[in-house]
Amino acid sequence: MLAASGDLPETALLGRPTPILTSQASATLRILLAKSWLYSTLKGCVISLTLLSVLAASAQVIMPGRCPQTGVQEDFDTARYLGKWFDIQRLPNTFQKGECCTANYSLQSPGVVAVLNSELLSDGTISSINGSATAKDPSEPAKLQVSFFENAPPAPYWVLSTDYENYSLVYSCTDLGVLHFDFAWIMSREPTLSEETLGELHGILSSMGVSVHKLLTTDQSEATCSSMSLCPIGDLVQIRLFRRPSTSNSSWGDGFEIAKLPAQFEKGRCIETNFTLKKTTPFEWSALKYCEKAELRKIEGTGVVEDIKNPAKLGISYSYVLPYSPYWILSTDYVNVALVYSCTDILRLFHVDFAWILGRTRSMPETTVQKAMDTFAKNNIDVSRMIPSRQQGCDKTL
């Protein structure tokens, strides 16, 4: 006889046959189930504790609870933030292991910032990684998302405070529900930062519950970091380049190539460059025009000031995909001549020099050319292979 429906096991109510268990078998089953649950729970706890132990051993900063809610820099100006920043202090993390850490930001494409992080490892090698950063919500431009790997999810990069010219305070947090990982960086435009500014930034972090006492100081001393750049660096001038007093601020005019170090990407003649300011953005726009095999070719790109304290250090790119290359103005009188230099480091073993002498007209007195070459030489730039550019018969061609 069947029992009343209220007494039926759940499996029977679902139309499945119900095995009949003795009281002893039922008790045994309950014990086995309890042991299984206890084993799974303990196993999960052991795995979690093991993971936390590994992270703790790596000095990762783990805090209880969810990520703190915090404000960010108001009216954040991405254009002013671009350029080079030195890592002054940071919370411990698993991906930074060296000294002399720097971050260089440039405009990769509209709304996308190119990121280049570099550090000097203990074995003397320089480690660099490229990434990109975007603002997920355009109304909160200081809340950036940065990514260094194609298939990896982006990480938060929140600019809590910056004056653009001296310091920046950056915070990131990974939320795991019952706990979170804190990341923080104090950066400067120079290798050092005043104790007063450090104290103010420590106060902001402390108000958020960040463990300021765990901050590590990055070695940015010249003795340690001198090998971070192999390219010679000369005294740079302001960035007005060829602008005449009578012209408007939106046009810098034409620059004709007079002489150059050989470059694989320039094979034509009658090479000239035109500099203007784009009205839609604060970034400089340059157009390169030259004649190759009797065919006129033109290429356009963008130039940005990568370090606001060194406005003659431009970065220039002719593709939204490629990062910016150095384009440094070593010297100019703004009216007749400009000396441009670029350098590419190759595996930190050697470097490739690029140099150009630009003029307002297609010809230049030999004495002016010689003075320009002397200036390059004083900046440790070998111009013995510099060749004159062909500017004859160009007015008819162009």
Over residues 124-140, the pLDDT tens digits come to 888 888 889 999 899 99
Q: Is 53 helix (H, G, I), strand (E, B) or coil?
A: helix
In a domain, 138, yes or no: yes
Q: Which pLDDT belongs to residue 137?
A: 92
Number of folded domains that form the chain: 2
Q: Which pLDDT belongs to residue 27?
A: 52
The pLDDT tens digits of the residues spanning 192-234 come to 999 999 999 999 999 999 999 999 999 999 889 887 765 654 4
What is the DSSP annotation of 342-365?
Answer: EEEEETTTEEEEEEEEEESSS---
For residue 162, with 0-12 CB atoms within 10 Å meaning exposed, 13-18 middle and 19 or more buried, which class applies? buried
Q: Which pLDDT belongs to residue 382?
A: 86
Q: Which pLDDT belongs to residue 234?
A: 42
> Are 205 and 296 within one domain?
no
Distance, in Å, from the CA atom of 319 to the CA atom of 294, rounded to the nearest integer, reads 25
> Are 105 and 211 within one domain?
yes
> Are 209 and 265 within one domain?
no
> Are 280 and 220 within one domain?
no
| Partners of 301 in the β-ladder | 286
CATH number at residue 166: 2.40.128.20
Max Cα–Cα distance, the chain, nearest Å: 118
In a domain, 17, yes or no: no
Q: Which pLDDT belongs to residue 23?
A: 53
Contact yes or no for 61/167 (Cβ under 8 A) = no
What is the DSSP annotation of 261-274?
Answer: ---TT---EEEEEE
Q: Residue 123 belongs to what domain range?
A: 78-228
* Of the residues 195, 228, 261, the one at which a domain ends: 228
Distance, in Å, from the CA atom of 45 to the CA atom of 153, rounded to the nearest integer, reads 27
Contact yes or no for 227/238 (Cβ under 8 A) = no
> Are 206 and 258 within one domain?
no
Which contacts qualify for 26-32: CB closer than 8 Å, 24 or more apart?
A: none
The residue assigned the tokens 């759940």 is 10
Burial 352-375 (b: 16+ CB within 10 A, else e): ebbbbbbbbebebeeeebeebbeb
> Are 274 and 375 within one domain?
yes
pLDDT beneath 50: ranges in the chain = 1-21, 25, 28-29, 31-58, 233-251, 279-287, 292-293, 397-398
Contact yes or no for 261/355 (Cβ under 8 A) = yes
In a domain, 9, yes or no: no
Q: DSSP state, 164?
A: S
